[in-house]
Structure 1
Amino acid sequence: MTAWDLGLLHQINTAGSHPALDWLMPALSAIEAWLPAIILAVLLTAWRGGKQARLMLFCLAIAIAIGDAVISNTLKKTVGRVRPRDAMEGVIVRDLGNASPAFMRLFEKPVIKASEPRGETHGKSFPSSHTVNMFAVATVIACFYRGAGLAMYLLAAAVAYSRIYCGAHWPSDIPPSMALGVLTGLGVVSATKRFMSRWNARV
């Protein structure tokens, strides 16, 4: 790792810690805990949002599938970069407490511990799937609803920051992951609108 990576990791993960962030950052990373709220938002959008909103939801589904299952999964296996918490001592690992169902984890005391390297030589640090997915989502939403998209970009940036704060990713994992997410979102929206335009022209 470069000195820049190590220095910024220390500043975010250790020196920049705060009790409030020790809950907030793992909470932002725990996407599965927010699944009921996400499903409700999707259903309401599909029901009340109209044709444009439903087209956006379609693009979101495609973007997440491509970003997560294809791009992130392929690059993780190819690059094999070890996560900070598995590569070195002194990294603070933060997570929400265990609970079932998953959303109850949000009400549990966060688990905080120092990393214990396991001697791994191959890992899943690059890219950050959370970051790729969130920036793909933000980009798709921004293509349809600019104001909502800008708000989602802020949330996506917070999630990306949380991955470093929780010891799951190196700082240098994040900018390329953001770019991959944005490009995925733009590509999906562009391809979908082009297809819809040609389809409508034939009908």
Structure 2
Amino acid sequence: MNAWDLTLLHQINTAWSSPVLDWLMPALSAIEAWLPLIIVAALIAAWRGGRRTRIMLLCAGIAIALGDGVVSNTLKKTIGRVRPRDARADVIVRDLGTASPAFMRLFEKPVVKPSEPNGATHGKSFPSSHTVNMFAVATVIACFRRRAGMLMYLLAAAVGCSRVYCGAHWPSDIPPSMAIGVLVGLGVVGLARRIFQKV
């Protein structure tokens, strides 16, 4: 582990903490809690938007499936990097409280506790699937709707930071994950354009 990686981890995970961030960062990381709203927004966009919007949503879905199910999954299994919270006892673990349905977790008191490494692992650290997926979607949106894409890039960057704040990823996991997401998004859009041009 590089010294700068550990220093930056402690800075983000510990020194820059606050009660507001203790809720906000886990909330950004909890994609499943936002899933109902995301689905509703996508359905409204598909209904109200034109053909271009529907193609954009299709590309975004393919980018997530490819980025998460193929690229991230393969790299995680191949590299096998352990998460900070599973490797060190000086990391603060943050998460939303438990509730059902998952959306209600946003209204629960966040869980903030020191890590307790015991040899067990809770997933692998590299790459950050959250970051890959968010940057893939942001890239797809930017290719179709530039202004909306720029806002999505800001949200994607915040999600990437939240993964370090919550103790789930090392800082050095995030920039490569961003790049992977951008490449996946560009690849999907490029392929879609070729297919639709031929059609």
CA RMSD of aligned residues (A): 1.1
Instruction: Deviation per CA, 1:20-59: give whole Å up to 9, x if none.
Output: 0000000000000001110111000100011000000110
TM-score (norm 1): 0.96
The residue number in structure 2 matching 1:163 is 163
In the TM superposition, residue 120 of structure 1 has moved relative to its aligned partner by 4.8
The residue number in structure 2 matching 1:118 is 118
Q: 1:154 to 1:122 in 2, by over 3 A?
A: closer
CA distance in 2 between counterparts of 1:66 and 1:112 reads 33
Would the aligned equivalents of 2:86 and 2:121 in 1 still touch at CA under 8 Å?
no
2:23 maps to 1:19: no
Paired amino acid for 1:125? S
Instruction: Count residues in correspondence.
Output: 199
Paired amino acid for 2:4? W
Instruction: Deviation per CA, 1:76-97: give whole Å up to 9, x if none.
Output: 0000000000001110000000
Unaligned 5+ runs, structure 2:
none
Unaligned 5+ runs, structure 1:
none
Q: 3-state DSSP class of the match of 1:100?
A: coil
The residue number in structure 1 matching 2:101 is 101
CA distance in 2 between counterparts of 1:175 and 1:60 reads 21
In the TM superposition, residue 119 of structure 1 has moved relative to its aligned partner by 2.5
Matches within 5 A, 1:7-156: 7-120=7-120, 123-156=123-156
Paired amino acid for 1:11? Q
* Superposed structure 1 runs of 4+ greater than 3 Å apart: 120-123
CA distance in 1 between counterparts of 2:20 and 2:119 reads 32
The residue number in structure 1 matching 2:175 is 175
CA distance in 2 between counterparts of 1:49 and 1:147 reads 16
Identity among equivalent positions (%) equals 76
CA distance in 1 between counterparts of 2:65 and 2:45 reads 19
Q: 3-state DSSP class of the match of 2:23?
A: helix
In the TM superposition, residue 118 of structure 1 has moved relative to its aligned partner by 1.8
CA distance in 1 between counterparts of 2:156 and 2:17 reads 20
TM-score (norm 2): 0.98
In the TM superposition, residue 123 of structure 1 has moved relative to its aligned partner by 4.9
Paired amino acid for 1:6? L
